[in-house]
Amino acid sequence: MVDKNQLADAETLVRFANLKPNDFEDFRQKYPAFFPPSFWVPRSLPQRMPEPRNPPEVMARVGLPEPQNPKQTEWRPEHQNLYIGDTFTLANLIQPMIQEMWQTKFPLKSVIVLIGLGNGTALGDELDLEAYPYQNALMLLRDEPWRAGFCPKCGTRFVKTKPRQVFCSDQCFNVNRKAYQKKNWEDRGDKYRKNATKRKSGGKKP
Q: Smaller CB distance to Zn ion: residue 8 or 175? A: 175
The single-letter DSSP state of residue 66 is P
Give the dihedral of Cα atoms 5, 168, 162, 174; nearest 10 deg.
130
Tell me how crowded residue 143 is: count the other CB atoms within 10 A of its CB.
Answer: 12
**Nearest distance in Å: CB 194, Zn ion:** 36
| Distant-in-sequence, close-in-space partners of 135: CB < 8 Å, separation ≥ 6 | 115, 118
Q: What share of the chain is helix, strand, coil (3-state, %, to 5)?
A: 55, 5, 40
Gap between the Cα atoms of 156 and 162, Å rounded: 17
- Shortest separation between residue 101's beta carbon and Zn ion, angstroms: 20
Kindly tell me which of 44 and 169 has the beta carbon lying closer to Zn ion.
Answer: 169
Q: How far is the CB of 149 from Zn ion (least distance, A)?
A: 9
Q: Which is nearer to Zn ion, 72 or 165 (CB)?
A: 165
Q: Which is nearer to Zn ion, 18 or 72 (CB)?
A: 18
Is the CB of 10 or the CB of 172 nearer to Zn ion? 172
Shortest distance (Å) from residue 20 CB to Zn ion = 17
Residue 139 or 172 having the CB closest to Zn ion: 172
Q: At what angle do helices 4-17 and 133-143 cross, to 10 degrees?
A: 100
Q: Which residues bind Zn ion (CB under 5 A)?
A: 151, 153-154, 168, 172
Q: Max Cα separation, the chain?
A: 97
Q: How far is the CB of 158 from Zn ion (least distance, A)?
A: 7
- All residues at 6 or more sequence positions from 25 whose CB lies less than 8 Å from its CB, including other chains: none
Smallest gap from residue 13 Cβ to Zn ion (A): 17
